[in-house]
Structure 1
Amino acid sequence: MAARNPYRGLPSVDRVLADERVRALSAEYSGDTVVTLVREELDAVREAIAGGGAAPPLEAIVAAVGRRARSALAPSLRPTINATGVIIHTNLGRAPLSDEALAAMAEAARGYSNLEFDLEAGERGSRHVHLEEQLRRLTGAEAAFAVNNNASAVLLALSALAARREVVISRGQLVEIGGGFRIPDVMAQSDAFLAEIGTTNRTYLRDYEEAITEHTAALMRVHASNFKVVGFTASVSIQELAQLARERRLYLIDDLGSGCLLDTARFGLPPEPTPQESLAAGADLVLFSGDKLLGGPQAGIIAGRREVVERLRRHPLARAVRIDKVSIAGLAATLNHYLKDEAAEKVPVWRMIAAPVDGLARRARRWARAAGRGATVVDGRSMVGGGSLPEEGLPTKLLALPATPERPAEALARRLRAHDPPVVARIERDTVLLDPRTVHPREDRVVVEALRAALGESNGS
Structure 2
Amino acid sequence: MDIYDRLGVRKVINAWGTITIVGGSLMPPEAFQAMAEAGRSYVDLHELNEKAGQYIARLLGVEAAHISSGAAGGMVLAAAACLTGTDMERICALPDTGDGANEIIVQRSKGHSYVYQAMRYTGARLVPVGCPQQMTLEDIEGGLSDKTAAIMLYLDIHRQPSIREVAPIARRAGVPIIVDAAAELPPRSNFCQPLADGADLVVFSGGKGIRGPQATGLILGRSDLIEACRLNASPYSAIGRPMKVGKEDIAALVAALEVFVSRDEAEETAEYKRRADQIVAMLDGVPGICARTLVDDPRARPVVPRVYVDLAADFSWTGRQVREALLAGDPPIAIGETESGVSVAVLLLDDEQQVRTVGARLREVLLSAQAQ
Q: TM above 0.5, one fold?
A: yes
Larger radius of gyration, structure 1 or 2?
1
Q: Report deviation, 1:140.
A: 4.1
Q: Report deviation, 1:148.
A: 0.6
TM-score (norm. length: structure 1) = 0.58
* Change in 2 beyond 3 A, CA 1:399/1:113: farther
- Does the 8 A contact of 2:306 with 2:344 survive in 1? no
Q: Report deviation, 1:93.
A: 2.4
Q: Report deviation, 1:309.
A: 2.5
| Partner SS, residue 87 of structure 1 | coil
**Is structure 2 residue 168 aligned with structure 1 residue 258?**
no
* Change in 2 beyond 3 A, CA 1:168/1:275: farther
- Does the 8 A contact of 1:153 with 1:302 survive in 2? yes
- Does the 8 A contact of 1:174 with 1:182 survive in 2? no
* Change in 2 beyond 3 A, CA 1:185/1:414: closer
Identify the residue that residue 94 of structure 2 maps to in structure 1: none
**Is structure 2 residue 223 aligned with structure 1 residue 291?**
no
Amino acid aligned to 1:443: Q
Identify the residue that residue 221 of structure 1 maps to in structure 2: 152
**Higher mean Cα deviation, 314-323 or 274-283?**
274-283
CA deviation digits over 1:89-146, x for unaligned, max 9?
34322234334334434x347x5134x24xxxxxx76331452133212454443211
**In structure 2, what is the Cα distance between the partners aligned to 1:259 and 1:411?**
26
**In structure 1, what is the Cα distance between the partners aligned to 2:117 and 2:130?**
19
- Does the 8 A contact of 2:56 with 2:65 survive in 1? yes
**In structure 1, what is the Cα distance between the partners aligned to 2:271 and 2:171?**
41
Q: Please, what is the CA RMSD of the aligned residues?
A: 4.8
Identify the residue that residue 132 of structure 1 maps to in structure 2: 53
* Change in 2 beyond 3 A, CA 1:155/1:448: closer
Q: Give the counterpart of 2:192 among 273, 276, 288.
A: 276
Q: Report deviation, 1:384.
A: 7.2
Identify the residue that residue 92 of structure 1 maps to in structure 2: 22
* Change in 2 beyond 3 A, CA 1:203/1:104: same
- Does the 8 A contact of 2:177 with 2:199 survive in 1? yes
Identify the residue that residue 442 of structure 1 maps to in structure 2: 353
The number of residues matched between the two structures is 348
**Is structure 2 residue 80 aligned with structure 1 residue 159?**
yes
Bigger RCO (CA 8 Å, 6+ sep)? 2
Q: Report deviation, 1:240.
A: 0.9
Q: Report deviation, 1:192.
A: 2.1
Q: Give the counterpart of 2:224 among 301, 307, 317.
A: 307
CA deviation digits over 1:365-390, x for unaligned, max 9?
4x559xx987988324478799737x
* Change in 2 beyond 3 A, CA 1:387/1:241: farther
Amino acid aligned to 2:179: D
| Partner SS, residue 307 of structure 1 | helix
* Change in 2 beyond 3 A, CA 1:447/1:133: same
| Partner SS, residue 7 of structure 2 | coil
Identify the residue that residue 417 of structure 1 maps to in structure 2: 327
TM-score (norm. length: structure 2) = 0.69
**In structure 2, what is the Cα distance between the partners aligned to 1:79 and 1:431?**
24
**Is structure 2 residue 259 aligned with structure 1 residue 327?**
no
Amino acid aligned to 2:241: R
The 5 A counterparts of 1:162-241 are: 162=83, 163-164=97-98, 165-171=100-106, 173-175=107-109, 180-197=112-129, 201-204=134-137, 208=141, 211-213=144-146, 215-216=147-148, 218-223=149-154, 225=156, 227-229=157-159, 237-241=165-169
- Does the 8 A contact of 1:168 with 1:208 survive in 2? no
Question: Identity of paired residues, percent?
Answer: 22
Identify the residue that residue 15 of structure 1 maps to in structure 2: none
Q: Report deviation, 1:158.
A: 2.6
* Change in 2 beyond 3 A, CA 1:275/1:418: closer
* Change in 2 beyond 3 A, CA 1:186/1:136: same
Identify the residue that residue 93 of structure 2 maps to in structure 1: none
